[in-house]
Amino acid sequence: MMEDVFILLGLIFNLNLPLLTAWLLDHWLGDPLWMPHPVVAFGKAISFCEHRLNKGNGRFLKGALMSVILVVSVYFITFFLLRQAAYFSPGLLLTLQILLIFYCLAGTTLVREVREVFKATDRSLDEGRKQVARIVGRDTSDLSVQEVRMAALETLAENLSDGVIAPLFWYLLLGVPGMLAYKMINTLDSMTGYKNERYRHFGCFAARLDDIANYIPARLTAFLMILASGRPRLLSFVGKYGSQHASPNSGYPESALAGILNCRFGGPHNYFGEEIWKPYIGYNNRPLTTDDMNIAVHINRRAEWLMVVAVIFTATLISFCS
Each residue's pLDDT tens digit, 82-104: 999 999 999 999 999 999 999 99
- Spell out where the chain has E strands: 265-271, 274-281
User: Which of 159 and 6 is assigned the larger pLDDT?
Assistant: 159
- Dump pLDDT digits (tens) for 270-305: 655 566 677 889 989 999 999 999 999 999 999 999
Distance, in Å, from the CA atom of 80 to the CA atom of 108, rounded to the nearest integer, reads 29
Q: Render the burial of 246-259: b for 16+ CB within 10 Å, e for the rest.
A: eeebbbbbbbbbbb
CA 30 to chain centre: 14
**What is the predicted pLDDT for the residue at 269?**
65
pLDDT exceeds 50 at position 8: no
**What is the predicted pLDDT for the residue at 36?**
79
Distance, in Å, from the CA atom of 260 to the CA atom of 237, rounded to the nearest integer, reads 10
- Dump pLDDT digits (tens) for 101-126: 999 999 899 999 999 999 999 999 99
Q: Are 98 and 270 in contact (CB under 8 A)?
A: no
pLDDT exceeds 60 at position 239: yes
pTM of the full structure: 0.92
Backbone angles phi, psi at 201, to 5 degrees: -95, -45
**What is the predicted pLDDT for the residue at 231?**
96
- pLDDT mean over 73-79: 98
- Dump pLDDT digits (tens) for 45-68: 999 999 999 999 999 999 999 999
DSSP of 57-100: S-HHHHHHHHHHHHHHHHHHHHHHHHHHHHHH-HHHHHHHHHHH
pLDDT exceeds 50 at position 226: yes
Side-chain half-sphere CA neighbours of 272 within 13 A: 6
Helices 204-229 and 290-321 pack at an angle, to 10 degrees, of 100
If we measure between CA atoms, which residue out of 233, 254, 232, 229 comes closest to residue 244?
254
User: Which of 195 and 146 is assigned the larger pLDDT?
Assistant: 146
* Residues in a beta bridge with 274: 271
* Residues in a beta bridge with 269: 276
